Amino acid sequence: MFDAFLVVFHLDNLLLLLAGTAVGIVVGAIPGLTATMLIALTLPMTFHMEAVNAVTLLIGEYVGGISGGLITAILLRMPGTPSSITTTFDGYPMAQTGRAERALALGIMASVAGGIISWGFLAGMSPTLAHFALQFGPWEYFTLVLMALFMLAALASGSLVKGLLAAAIGMAFSLPGVDSSLGSARLTFGSDTLLSGFGLLPVLIGVFAISQILREAAEPKKEKGKARLPDRKLPVHWSDAKVHGMNMLRSSVLGTWIGLLPGIGGNVAALVAYSTTRQLSKEKEKFGTGHEPGVVASESANNAAIGGALIPLITMGIPGSVTEAILIGALTIHNLQPGPLLFQNSPEIAYGVIAAYAVANVMMLILMWGTVRYIAMIAQIPRAGLLGAILVFCVIGSYAVNNSFSDVWIMMAFGLVGLGLELAKVPLGPFVIGFVLSPIAEEQLRASLMMSDGDVWAILHRPYALFFLAIAVLTLFYPMIIDLLGRRGGKTESANV
Amino acid sequence: MFNLTRRRAISGTIRAVAGAIVSLAVASTALTATSQAALADDFPTKPIKVIVPYKPGGRTDVVARMIADKIQQKGWLEQPLVIVNADGGAGANAFGQLKRGGNDGYTIMHWSHELLLSVAMGLGGFQLDDFKSIGFTGGGSPLWAVREDAPYKTLNELIDHLKKEPRSLVEAVAIGSIPHIVGAMLEKSAGVETRYVTANSNADRLRLLLGGNADIALFAASEFMRQGENLRPLVYFGNERLAALPDLPTAKELGYDASWANPNWWLAPAGTPDDVVKKIAGALEKAINDPEIAEYFKNNTLEPYWTGGDEAMDQSVAMLASLKSITDTLK
């Protein structure tokens, strides 16, 4: 392990890591361009590099790409990457109330904490954790996602009905495509374009970025507050460790854990951590209005998910997401097979990945911390120019996912959907959550039932699944029970009077 | 920071426009058959776009890139091959791009027999006669594996168990995908049935099998080699035994009518001129016979071989017929 750090500290590797992380942050911050896309585009360039160099560059891009997403999520309410969806919930309201730098600083701190904590798990307990995570089958995945869905059901600030409506619309849009359990086309209306369904990225960019651009374009020009000079004082103090430490730790552990489960990535990790933090909070109603713990939970978890996802990757060769699948591709091109034999056959690579991940987190901290005040000034750039540039990137990004122009039309259409929802005061959060989570829940439930020959009660043999289900049911009925008890209490009181 | 392919693609477009103007001029001035031949002699005058219907990193993508690199390095074609990834829609997205690219030989495709599955399942909106076959540059076969602690040491023991207790084992597959169809071939031939659990990727199959949520899963031989520990291979679906696993019997040897030799298939749109296809095929054949490529193939349990366009198409037509007999029972 120590040797691996020495390898990573070679000048060429450090420079590659620095370059990778820096480019990653920029790409991650631009709505429409994601870490996955960057890594896919860089992959062919790494064919001619040494294996260690290739891996350090890609890891840097990965860490930078996920971290950069918080910038635009906070300043413009456009998640730079799908992992930063939940960061918009509280980050943007904070920025609107003049606390942009504070939100950015907290987000960066949380990202680093998430990275370091999950690195601890990656370096210390990879094999154990990987084997534990393997026991999770379809029932566990289904109940875990169901739990997240239920916990988030009440996320909508304001009307519960509108929140549920938004979630239902999101779910409906996730239906078209190839039925994951039968392999047949579903609700595609004979269109080949719809065979791959509505892609996550075009939908996300459409609903968040395009709709925002449309709305701002429609708004009458309003006088922005005078550009403030960046504060001399750092917007974070040591006392924040006390306030947010527990949250960072919890969200990072949750994020690592969810990253560990192959197939669900940083966005689900951030959603679960955000909802858990909200459920445990005494000030639930403050979430969604610019509450600091919301930003902290989301950003700790999505960065921790990277470390988590690297665990099954290097110990078993199982990629946790598309990004990792591309990383595996990078390794196999160099004739390296990730898996249990990697540590024996090429320890410099296996430990190199671990060391590079730690160093990339430190680089990310330095890069973002050093520039946070200047980043915050993005919000001062004249909107017309900024939004125009973003629109260009949105189109490029949507096109580049699959080199397909129909994804650009899908993005535009969802821009209108997003605008319509906003105008009808239907919240976007539950919409995206329904869209992201329900396909996973559906696929896993149907896989479970295939496996048990249609027997629903097979779940009784799965203790973890029962545990998640119990939490899900509790979250659903807890407010009702409290409400009921409260009302009864109230009634007796009024009877006394 | 955008990569070379992108820049190449852009300069490619510029050249494409220029090329189109030139060829228009040529076509309008000399409307004779000889000008056609002259064009083919010059081919290629601009980069050739190779569409891969997946995201980067998988076998189809890596093989395409290696061969493209080799051809450029050795100068077997005057212009580079540029790989473009077009994932999605069971190949519909890639096919759309292939069609839009035109049948002048500057837009081709690298796929596998997964194409036949899309046709057999009626997905993607294309048929075999939409393509012109350039040839196979080698291929690989999958195998069936169980966990190492499973009670079955051989395929026959597993099949006996399934005969005694029908549907007692869970197989990790995605319905309508290679693992499903190849497994179904074997099961049909052996007269047994399993239960399924959805697994849409190799990673999913591995995870479900190792975690005890599935009993049987199919892996490409190279994927299996990567795992090394904890899995036991039962049967190989190639036509002959695999050099890397000499003790593993093939399904044919054991008396089952089930084989799947998935080739790396190079395709052009139907109507692409024969001499242009011949020129590309010549370069591909040289590349697959290159010692460096052959070495990579062997290390990754792929077989390097060359099958010419017409023969490749004949084999594929035969394979499609037997696939349809399986997929028809699903509908």
Q: How far B140 CA sits from the closest chain A CA (Å)?
A: 16
pLDDT of residue A124: 87
Q: What phi, psi does A407 have (nearest 5°)?
A: -65, -30
Spell out which residues of chain B touch residue A443, defining contact as CB-CB under 8 Å.
Answer: 198, 200
pLDDT tens profile A135-146: 888 999 899 888
- Indicate whether B42 belongs to any domain: yes
**Tell me, what amino acid is at B130?**
D
Which DSSP category does B207 fall into? H
- Percent share of chain A, pLDDT over 90: 27
Q: How far B82 CA sits from the closest chain A CA (Å)?
A: 11
> Residue written as tokens 């990202």?
A111
| Torsional class of A339: left (φ above 0), alpha (ψ -120 to 50), beta (otherwise) | left
pLDDT tens profile B236-259: 999 889 888 999 999 999 999 888
- Indicate whether B244 belongs to any domain: no
> Residue written as tokens 């075999």?
B128
B48-52 and B81-85 beta bridge pairing = parallel
- Indicate whether B243 belongs to any domain: no
> How does residue A234 score in pLDDT terms, banded at 50, 70 and 90?
low
Mean pLDDT (whole number) for B33-45: 63
Is A462 a residue whose pLDDT tops 80?
yes
Identify the weakest region by mean pLDDT among A11-25, A215-229, A244-258, B221-235.
A215-229
CB B262 within 8 A of CB B140: yes
pLDDT of residue A1: 63
Q: Quick one: tokens of B71?
A: 């051809």
pLDDT of residue A239: 81
Mean pLDDT (whole number) for A125-134: 80
Q: Is the full-model pTM beyond 0.80?
A: no
pLDDT of residue A21: 94
Q: How far B20 CA sits from the closest chain A CA (Å)?
A: 22
Across the interface, of A45, A316, A325, the residue whose CB is closest to B3 is A45
Spell out which residues of chain B touch residue A312, defining contact as CB-CB under 8 Å.
Answer: 207
pLDDT of residue A489: 54
pLDDT tens profile A146-189: 887 777 665 555 567 787 888 889 999 999 987 777 777 788 88
Q: Which residue has the higher pLDDT, B234 or B244?
A: B234
**Three-class DSSP category at A329:** helix
pLDDT of residue B22: 46
Identify the weakest region by mean pLDDT among A181-185, B13-17, B232-236.
B13-17
Element (H, E) at A225: none
Q: Which residue has the higher pLDDT, A400 or A220?
A: A400
Q: Which residue has the higher pLDDT, A36 or B8?
A: A36
Report chain A's terminal Cα–Cα distance, integer Å: 72
Is A58 a residue whose pLDDT tops 50?
yes
CA A22 – CA A25 distance, rounded (Å):
5
CB A32 within 8 A of CB A200: no
CA B161 – CA B166 distance, rounded (Å):
8
pLDDT of residue A334: 77
Across the interface, of A317, A327, A453, the residue whose CB is closest to B227 is A317
Q: In what order do the strands lie in the sheet with B170-173?
A: B195-198, B170-173, B216-220, B142-147, B231-236
Cβ of A403 within 8 Å of Cβ of B86? The answer is yes
Sign of CA dihedral B7, B8, B13, B15: positive
pLDDT of residue A493: 43
Spell out which residues of chain A touch residue B62, defining contact as CB-CB under 8 Å.
Answer: 329, 332-333
> How does residue B309 score in pLDDT terms, banded at 50, 70 and 90?
very high
Q: Which residue has the higher pLDDT, A372 or A295?
A: A295
CA B209 – CA B201 distance, rounded (Å):
12
pLDDT of residue A145: 84
- Percent share of chain B, pLDDT over 70: 86
Same domain? B76 vs B208: no
Q: Which residue has the higher pLDDT, B271 or A190?
A: B271
Same domain? B101 vs B22: yes
What average pLDDT does chain B have?
85
**Three-class DSSP category at B172:** strand
CA B251 – CA B240 distance, rounded (Å):
9
**Residues 434 through 463 of chain A touching chain B, CB cutoff 8 Å:** 443, 446-448, 450-451, 453
Which CATH number do you get for residue B192?
3.40.190.10
pLDDT of residue B35: 44
Cβ of B227 within 8 Å of Cβ of A402? The answer is no
Same domain? B114 vs B159: no
> How does residue B287 score in pLDDT terms, banded at 50, 70 and 90?
very high
Is A222 a residue whose pLDDT tops 80?
no
Cβ of A44 within 8 Å of Cβ of B97? The answer is no
CA B253 – CA A47 distance, rounded (Å):
39
- Indicate whether B211 belongs to any domain: yes
Same domain? B29 vs B112: yes
Give the residue from chain B lying closest to A61, CA to CA: B1
CB burial of A21-58 (b: ≥16 within 10 Å; e: otherwise) equals bbbbbbbbbbbbbbbbbbbbbbbbebeebebbbbbbbb
Q: What is the 3-state secondary structure (H, E, C) of A354-411?
A: HHHHHHHHHHHHHHHHHHHHHHHHHHHCCHHHHHHHHHHHHHHHHHHHHCCCHHHHHH
CA A86 – CA B301 distance, rounded (Å):
44
**Which residue, of B236, B253, B288, is where some domain finishes?**
B236
What was the ipTM of the complex prediction? Answer: 0.76
Which DSSP category does A224 fall into? P
Give the residues across from B267 on adjacent strands: B109, B133
- Indicate whether B248 belongs to any domain: no
pLDDT tens profile A301-322: 999 999 998 988 888 777 777 7
Domain range for B135 is 4-140+262-330
pLDDT of residue A344: 74
Is B6 a residue whose pLDDT tops 70?
no
**Residues 46 through 105 of chain A touching chain B, CB cutoff 8 Å:** 47
pLDDT of residue A181: 74
Across the interface, of A184, A402, A450, the residue whose CB is closest to B93 is A402
Mean pLDDT (whole number) for A422-430: 85
Is A229 a residue whose pLDDT tops 60?
no
Q: Crossing angle, helix A406-423 and helix A160-173, to 10 degrees?
A: 170
Which DSSP category does A206 fall into? I
Q: How far A492 CA sits from the closest chain B CA (Å)?
A: 53
Same domain? B49 vs B96: yes
> Residue written as tokens 């699948």?
A325
- Which string of DSSP letters, residue by residue, matches B248-305? PPBTTTTT------EEEEEEEETT--HHHHHHHHHHHHHHHTSHHHHHHHHHTTPEEE
pLDDT tens profile A334-385: 777 776 677 777 888 888 889 999 999 999 999 998 887 777 777 777 877 8
Maximum Cα interatomic distance, chain B, rounded to a whole number of Å? 77
**Three-class DSSP category at B136:** strand
CA A421 – CA A169 distance, rounded (Å):
10
Mean pLDDT (whole number) for A283-296: 89
Cβ of B195 within 8 Å of Cβ of A443? The answer is no
Could you give the number of structural domains in chain B? 2
**Three-class DSSP category at A112:** helix
Domain map (residue ranges) of chain A: 2-220+234-460
> How does residue B330 score in pLDDT terms, banded at 50, 70 and 90?
low
Cis omega (within 30 of 0) for bond into B151:
no
> Residue written as tokens 């081709």?
B108
Across the interface, of B58, B65, B196, the residue whose CB is closest to A44 is B65
Q: Give every CB contact of residue A282 below 8 A, 6+ residues apart in sequence.
A: none
Same domain? B214 vs B304: no
pLDDT tens profile B61-99: 889 989 999 999 999 999 999 888 888 778 888 998 899
Identify the weakest region by mean pLDDT among A77-91, A158-172, B18-32.
B18-32
pLDDT of residue A261: 83
Give the residue from chain B lying closest to A20, CA to CA: B1
Is A251 a residue whose pLDDT tops 80?
yes
pLDDT tens profile A438-458: 888 898 899 999 888 888 888
